[in-house]
Amino acid sequence: MVTRDASSSAALARYAWLSLAAAFATLALKILAWVLTSSVGLLSDALESLVNVGAAVMLLAMLRIAGRPADDEHAYGRDKAEYFASGFEGMLVVISAVVPTAIAERWFLPDSERERRIDRRLAALRAEEYV
């Protein structure tokens, strides 16, 4: 078990707040650049910055939980709560990769091709039921 004193927990919280401020500043600058240029690439980059904001918010929440002292239910403390922040960020990255792919498929594929792909996916799911 890793134990932290109050000063190291406070330092971690300060860095987490700094991370959140940097994420918001970066997001604001990217949105401003998009507004000024109308670049879809900058818009995409700004939307990706939402992952950083979400990760920073989750980190703050998990640091707050991990900083609580041990009690009867958590005899060794709550240090493992910090791992949820990294798992959450990983989930956000996966979602930010899957959603644009689905959107692009809907925009660029003709309806008939999209329906064939859906039919193949449904057939694969049905086949899994029998395995």
pLDDT for residue 97: 76
In a domain, 64, yes or no: yes
In a domain, 111, yes or no: no
Residue 97 to residues 7, 51, 102, 104, 119, Cα–Cα distance (Å): 38, 11, 9, 11, 23
In a domain, 122, yes or no: no
Give the model confidence (pLDDT) of 59-113 as tens digits. Answer: 888 888 877 777 777 766 677 777 888 888 888 888 877 777 777 776 776 677 7
Q: Which of 79, 31, 83 is nearest to 58 (CA)?
A: 83
- Distance (Å, whole) CA 67 – CA 62: 8
Question: Domain of 50?
Answer: 6-96
In a domain, 72, yes or no: yes
In a domain, 105, yes or no: no
Give the model confidence (pLDDT) of 6-56 as tens digits. Answer: 667 778 888 889 989 999 999 999 999 999 998 878 888 888 888 889 888
Higher pLDDT, 128 or 40: 40
pLDDT for residue 29: 94
pLDDT at 1 over 70: no
In a domain, 121, yes or no: no
In a domain, 113, yes or no: no
In a domain, 119, yes or no: no
Q: In total, how many domains does the chain have?
A: 1
Higher pLDDT, 76 or 4: 76
